Homo-oligomer: A and B are copies of this chain.
Amino acid sequence: MDELVALAERLQARCGAIGARVATAESCTGGMIAAAITSVPGSSGYFVGGIVAYSDALKRALLGVDDALLASHGAVSAQVAVAMARGARARLGAELAVAVTGISGPGGGTVDKPVGLTYVAVAGQAGDVVRRFSWHGDREENRVASARAALELLLEAAAPPAAG
């Protein structure tokens, strides 16, 4: 968790510098990203809030994820990760939103979607970015790895544009 908090401190400094508010939409990480962000004093200055959407029904109701996307690609997919991030960005009112959906284990894996498969997406003014990961730890290790990847992707999205 210390590593996550260190990332959250850097994110807070960077978002403060560019005036970006942040929101989260978490499935497998279950609130861990929001908890790391809010462990830093002053985080209320840029963090608006988050949604932990564990069930498909809540991914639809709270984040506006399309039924057809869930049916055709499954909850653990790049498409649903992007839809969750876009939904959080729009509904929570933030410049940047991150979403995580994955299979932390020990149960829930299939041949096509094994335990550890995780998608992380960020939605921002410049568009969306999504990344696929395959973790090989236990449930808690996979969750921490996913939260770390989410904070790192937020940091990249909040980077000032390169000069030139």
> Which A residues fall within an 8 A CB radius of B?
1, 24, 26, 28-35, 37-39, 41-44, 47-55, 57-58, 61-62, 91-93, 105-108, 139-140, 143
Contact = CB atoms under 8 A, between A and B. Distances in A.
16 contacts: A1-B1, A26-B31, A29-B35, A30-B39, A31-B34, A31-B35, A31-B52, A32-B35, A34-B34, A39-B139, A41-B105, A43-B54, A44-B108, A49-B51, A49-B62, A62-B92
Nearest to A147: B35
Given A31-B32, A31-B52, 7 more contacts: A26-B31, A30-B31, A31-B33, A39-B143, A51-B52, A58-B92, A62-B92
